[in-house]
A and B are shown apart, each in its own frame.
Chain A
Amino acid sequence: MNEVKKKRMNMSQAINLALHDAMEQDDSVLALGEDIADREGGGVFKCTAGLSEKFGTDRVKSTPIAEQAIMGAAVGAALAGMRPVAEIMLMNFITVAMDQVVNHAAKLRFMTGGQTNVPLTIRTTTGAGFGTGGQHADYLEAWFAHTAGMKVVAPSNPADAYGLLLSCIFDDDPCLFIEGLPLYFAMGDAPVQGERIPLGKAKVVRQGSHVTIVSYSRTMVEVNQVAQELEKQDISVEVIDLRTISPLDMDTILDSVAKTGRLVVAHEAQVDFGVGAEIATRVHRELFGQLKAPVARVGAARSPVPFSKALEDEFIPTRQRITDAVLDVLK
């Protein structure tokens, strides 16, 4: 699937297209990761299907199951002027490679006084809802957003995924690109081929006047549904898709909250010490006198991701919990 013939596609196809277009445009774009070459199936979620056949196994390399080796090779290739895209099959597996990401990719530009840079992209997927239990579904974006030198991106739909991934690949800093697992299978509008979406720019996806919800990645699906439902009750919700977590687009958030006076931040990561906390404190600092209610946060339960469906369904920020939070700030 190498060109846009469809008007709609899923996020796996959009990512595949972005990788293809980036590799076609620039020989320095490389891909590596477990099972990503076509001989191994083109990636467990098919995001890299067809790439090794078209661009060769020198540029599109399957690796051993060795995340430190994957990230280290990406750092080294980036130092040598390449633009590697490393696939970490599931986000929890990046814990094995944290040293390469945090101590090396994120810091080398600064520690070398700007002599080197590390233009790599880490693609990874995660998310609860698939019965994968405690070590396959965490949202760990706050760790990376907390690390100076990293950029963190989390699209919610195929078109954004395409444009943001292109921007990550051609950005001169290390980018973590989080692909919400259920989004792989959800259809959306096809991207405009070749068009990059700038990093650090949130998008107001729904205009409203009573309350603002900021979200990103798969939780945007729930948030959009909640906003539609609440409209029936004459509650007007403004929805912001953050798209990039770091750098954080506070201007878009502050403009919206200045208008609505109320903010709910919803994400699948745990609430405590999370992205919502950072947004809340910045909003409180800038708009303290204009807020009609304290900023509310909705996220996963403070527990490891559970296996049992009965627990997992309630672990994520459900539509009900997001709705409750909105109604609470409207009191």
Chain B
Amino acid sequence: MTELTSPDTSVLLEIYRKATLIKIADDRFIELIKAGQIASPYYSPRGQELVPSAISVNLRADDYVITTYRGIHDQLAKGIPLKPFVAEFMGKATGTCKGKGGPMHITHLASGLPVTTGIVGSGLPIANGLAWAALLKKSGQVTVVNFGDGASNIGAFHEALNLASVWNLPVVFVCQNNGYAEHTKYEYGTGARDIVDRAIGYGMHGIQCNGNDAVDMYCAAREAIERARNGQGPTLLEAKTFRFRGHLLGDDGHYIAKEIMDAAVAADPMPAFNQWLIAEGHATAEQLQAIEDENRAQFEEAVEFGLSSPYPDVSELGRDVYAEETGV
């Protein structure tokens, strides 16, 4: 293994830009839902911003990222265009999926986001197929599939890891271990001491990292992605993180002990990364504020676009079911 060192300032600031955009989007979506301007269930990624931000700076535009219903952080980090992204969230005709997928299925093939699934664990077997196709095309593309700790207990996880191993596929299986599968604490639902231990059972490379530490996350992701790109096969990458806003918006978090939540809030990766960047001399507070302000302005433009966009026509019920139009 080559020695991996901290990324340079421009990369760190790009991670910061992505992460703050995610946090802004999360705050705004919650406001819009509470204001009745978006009608949708919402699965907040607050607290997990650094995971995809530090992964995606290692990816090519044409690499694939698969994610789940808790996926806006993965989509934003991969570079989904904001206007159709927000419009899709609102169920508008101008959305990435014409309003037909919604928040749980945000997809943007042109950004390398071919599947967002609402079914726990189902992205993993699909990642293998994308990776198989990439091998056949000799395209050098890597597929990153994101899922939670809960997904490591479903059959699809095990079938997919085994197949990726025997086919030596360029897949990075990223388990964003936020400690809770819906409301069930990790140790009550998962027999493995650590998710990464499960890599051993499939003869697969495994890495565990601190997903709330941008540099650690970056180095782990780079190692896994380089291995995939270089023909060294798949990696199970466990990123330890924490979920601040429950499983589903409205979740009161009663199943999380107060001292655990207090400790997590005290270690919130977002202010911590901000302060670290300043302390290490990568940026001034003003520069970081400017990044945030620009993100906020861009996101507001997208919100305006979404709010002013039309809803899809009812005829859409008969379109995209099959290649041929079926009619309503």
Name the contact of B125 in the complex, choosing from A72, A78, A114 (C-beta under 8 A): A72
Q: A77-B129, A79-B130 are in contact. Are A111 and B101 (CB under 8 A)?
A: yes
CB pair B114–A109 under 8 Å, yes or no, is: no
Q: How far is the CA of A172 from the CA of B324 in the complex (A)?
A: 9
Return chain B residues, CB-CB under 8 Å to A63: 163
A87 → chain B, closest Cβ, in Å?
Answer: 15
A residues sitting closer than 8 Å to B (CB atoms) are 30, 58-59, 61, 63-64, 66, 68-69, 71-82, 84, 99-100, 103-104, 108-117, 148-149, 151, 171-173, 247
Name the contact of B119 in the complex, choosing from A58, A103, A247 (C-beta under 8 A): A103
Q: How far is the CA of A114 from the CA of B137 in the complex (A)?
A: 23
CB pair A112–B101 under 8 Å, yes or no, is: yes
* Top 4 A-B residue pairs of the complex, sorted by shortest distance between their CB atoms: A72-B125, A76-B129, A80-B133, A113-B98
Q: How far is the CA of A113 from the CA of B322 in the complex (A)?
A: 11
A76 → chain B, closest Cβ, in Å?
Answer: 2
Return chain A residues, CB-CB under 8 Å to B163: 63-64, 66, 69, 73
- Does chain A have a CB within 8 A of B320? yes
Return chain A residues, CB-CB under 8 Å to B130: 76-77, 79-80
Q: A99-B122, A112-B101 are in contact. Are A79 and B321 (CB under 8 A)?
A: no
- Does chain A have a CB within 8 A of B134? yes
CB pair A116–B109 under 8 Å, yes or no, is: yes
CB pair B125–A68 under 8 Å, yes or no, is: yes
CB pair B323–A117 under 8 Å, yes or no, is: yes
5 contacts between A and B (CB under 8 A): A30-B136, A64-B162, A69-B160, A79-B115, A113-B97
CB pair B136–A82 under 8 Å, yes or no, is: yes
CB pair A173–B100 under 8 Å, yes or no, is: no
A268 → chain B, closest Cβ, in Å?
Answer: 26
CB pair A79–B129 under 8 Å, yes or no, is: yes
Residue among A84, A108, A113 with the most chain B CB within 10 A? Answer: A113
CB pair B122–A103 under 8 Å, yes or no, is: yes
CB pair A149–B321 under 8 Å, yes or no, is: yes
Number of B residues near A (Cβ < 8 Å) is: 46
Name the contact of B100 in the complex, choosing from A76, A111, A151 (C-beta under 8 A): A111
Q: Kindly report which residue of chain B lies nearest to residue A150, judged by CB atoms.
A: B322
Q: A30-B136, A69-B163, A109-B320 are in contact. Are A116 and B156 (CB under 8 A)?
A: no
B300 → chain A, closest Cβ, in Å?
Answer: 24
Return chain B residues, CB-CB under 8 Å to A117: 323
Residue among A61, A68, A103, A117 with the most chain B CB within 10 A? Answer: A68
Name the contact of B322 in the complex, choosing from A68, A77, A99, A173 (C-beta under 8 A): A173
Name the contact of B129 in the complex, choosing from A84, A112, A148 (C-beta under 8 A): A84
Return chain B residues, CB-CB under 8 Å to A111: 97, 100-101, 105, 107
Return chain A residues, CB-CB under 8 Å to B166: 64
- Does chain A have a CB within 8 A of B95? yes
Return chain A residues, CB-CB under 8 Å to B68: none
CB pair A66–B109 under 8 Å, yes or no, is: no
CB pair B133–A113 under 8 Å, yes or no, is: no
CB pair A113–B95 under 8 Å, yes or no, is: yes
Q: How far is the CA of A151 from the CA of B324 in the complex (A)?
A: 12
Return chain A residues, CB-CB under 8 Å to B109: 112, 115-116
Q: Kindly report which residue of chain A lies nearest to residue B165, judged by CB atoms.
A: A64
